[in-house]
A and B are shown apart, each in its own frame.
Chain A
Amino acid sequence: MNTKLAQSRFTSIFSTFNRYVLWSVLTIFTLGPIYWMFVVSSRSPVEVYDKPNLIIDSFYAENYTKVFQDRVVRNYMVNSLIVATTNAVLVTILALFATYALTRWKLKGSDSVFFWTITNRMAPPAAFILPNFLIFTQVVKFGDFMLFDTKIGLILVYCLFNLPFAIWLLKGMLEGIPLELDEAALVDRASRMQVLFKIIVPLAAPGLAITFILTWVFAWNEYLLAASLSSSSARTITTRLAEYVTTTGTNYGELAAVAIIATLPAIIFLTFIQKYIVTGLTFGAVKE
């Protein structure tokens, strides 16, 4: 850090005092809505409609116990877990193979392939819901089986945005591993696959972990595709949130409880990869 801007005289725009004021205000701004969500989840259906009271004086735990006892919500949570985990595992493995190929071979046309993958990630999901819905309900159909409302369908569709992301992120990481290591192993008669599993995987382990966590979070957080490609047996926890508002009149307390539960895993995961979040969310383009 010796040659960095942080050590130069440039940094004196903000005084230490101003910094504390600014960041205290920002912390309140950031946590405020999350705190309020928690407050609402502690209120009974009657209290919710009172004048807003920012202090939690009593805790109405029924919002939470009801949610956990509700078989429907439990199923949604299990679905979310299965879909997100399977998708993240699948995507990480596929992306590892793909980026190994992209960084270690000079394949003709691989640059175009690489660019094409990113257009999939950037495309609006709204453009894909209709064709996927039709394909899932009308095209891929074997007797009674159709992809619509199956976890397999969701896992497959989530690859659309997660796989390009993982490929871009891992490519940056694998490029950071010097080719000399590969070559030394190849000279020692290791096969290409041995190089991948004995050299690349251990060295890229942190990158693989970040890829897994972020793709997991994206899959867990996804709403639009889940809402349009499932009806009951494959619905995920995010779709439950919208159901509270649209169908039964808004039950704010339970809505808040579900929102808190749906947010927790992502926040827990975030603490693990805190340091790499910038690298991760910029597809590996900005290193921190």
Chain B
Amino acid sequence: MNKGHSNRLGWILLSPSLLVLGIAGLAPFFYVIYVGTHSWNVFSKERGKVFVGVQNYRDLVFDSAFLGTLSRTLIFSFVVVTIELVLGFILALSLIKDFKAKTFFRTVYVLPVVVAPIAVGATWRLMMAQGHGPIPFFLNKFFGWDFNTGASTTQAWIAILLMDIWHWTPFVTLTLLAGLLAIPKEPVEAASVDGANRFQMHRYLILPMLLPVILITVFIRIMDSLRSMEDVYMLTNGGPGSSTTFVGLHIFRTVFAKQDYGYGSSMSLLVLYFTIVICWLLFNALTGKESKRKV
């Protein structure tokens, strides 16, 4: 076979995708680098772009509002992924064995996964609306608690955590279940014959065999929770104050409410940089573990 010729066809087949991704992904990336070195605020005196070098980035590292949203995003992501992983694992264990109505439960359980994030936010907003939402109403009626996501930071956080758990635990459960079901039974049988107790079995047998699937799940969930913003925006509107304002919403407001394009660009680039670093670290952890297993 003519190798040079066939390679050319390969690149030809690949090129439309590269072209589209180049236009949709690469062009904005370079443009944001360019704008990030300028001061460009529609409401400022100059109105147009003024080259300022790295001044935006110098401001950014001392911008406590921005850094606050960034750390909140990371904390949120870490907390939800941890909770969902633990819950998902327990629930996956309960689904290993077949039982009547399992298919029904599973089908219903996975519904939230395909609901649009903005609709999820709307749903939970209705659940928690003051005065006429069922959650604050019944908490007050039965326990005398005041649940107000608009006034209490803690309660707003409980609300968004609950929403995210509702939205994504099904996904974690089902991937872990798929991983568990792929584990062969022989080593487990052998271990139980050898007298391993339940804890040992989980710690030394099930978890190591499940590790690749856990890592993939964590990878996807962390990246997605870092991206998400519209459901939280819909539920709490970033409040009370800025206590649930995540970095995406912060950029959105800088760009569209304040129209500070230059500064917004430098934020976008920094967030993009953080995401790529985290993505790369997780990706390496993922593939590193897999190749070690192969050896």
A residues within 8 Å of B by Cβ? 3-11, 13-14, 16, 18-20, 22-23, 26-27, 29-34, 36-37, 40, 48-52, 54, 94-95, 97-98, 100-102, 104-105, 107, 110, 113, 115, 117-120, 122-135, 139, 156-157, 159-160, 163-164, 167, 186, 192, 217, 220-224, 228, 238, 241-242, 245, 252, 255-256, 259, 262-263, 266-267, 269-271, 274, 277-278, 281-283, 285-288
Knowing A23-B94, A36-B126, the reply to whether A274 touches B188 (Cβ < 8 A) is: no
With contacts A124-B247, A126-B252 taken as known, whether A159 is within 8 angstroms of B21 at the C-beta atoms is yes
Residues of chain A contacted by B213 (CB below 8 angstroms):
286
**Within the assembled complex, what's the spacing in Å between the Cα atoms of A100 and B31?**
31
CB-based contact A5/B31 at 8 Å: no
Interface residue SS majority, chain A: helix
B268 touches A127 (CB 8 A): yes
Q: How close is B280's CB to chain A, nearest CB, in angstroms?
A: 8
Question: Are the CB atoms of B111 and A270 closer together than 8 Å?
Answer: yes
**B37 at interface (Cβ–Cβ under 8 A)?**
no
- Least CB distance from B288 to A in Å reads 14
Closest-by-CB residue of B relative to A274 is: B107
Asked whether, in the complex, the Cβ of B261 is within 8 Å of the Cβ of A134, the reply is yes
Mask for B91-124, Cβ within 8 A of A = 1, else 0? 1011011110110010111111111111100111
**Could you tell me the distance in whole angstroms from the C-beta of A266 to the nearest C-beta in chain B?**
4
Option from A130, A159, A217 in Cβ contact (under 8 Å) with B265: A130
Encode B151-179 as 1/0 by CB contact (under 8 A) with A.
00000000000000010001100110111
Which of A5, A30, A51 makes the CB contact (< 8 A) with B96? A5
CB<8 Å pairs between A and B, sample of 29 = A5-B96, A9-B192, A20-B99, A23-B101, A33-B123, A97-B17, A98-B17, A98-B18, A110-B14, A124-B227, A124-B271, A130-B35, A130-B264, A156-B23, A157-B24, A159-B20, A159-B24, A163-B24, A223-B118, A224-B248, A228-B255, A228-B256, A245-B234, A256-B126, A266-B115, A267-B114, A274-B107, A283-B220, A286-B179
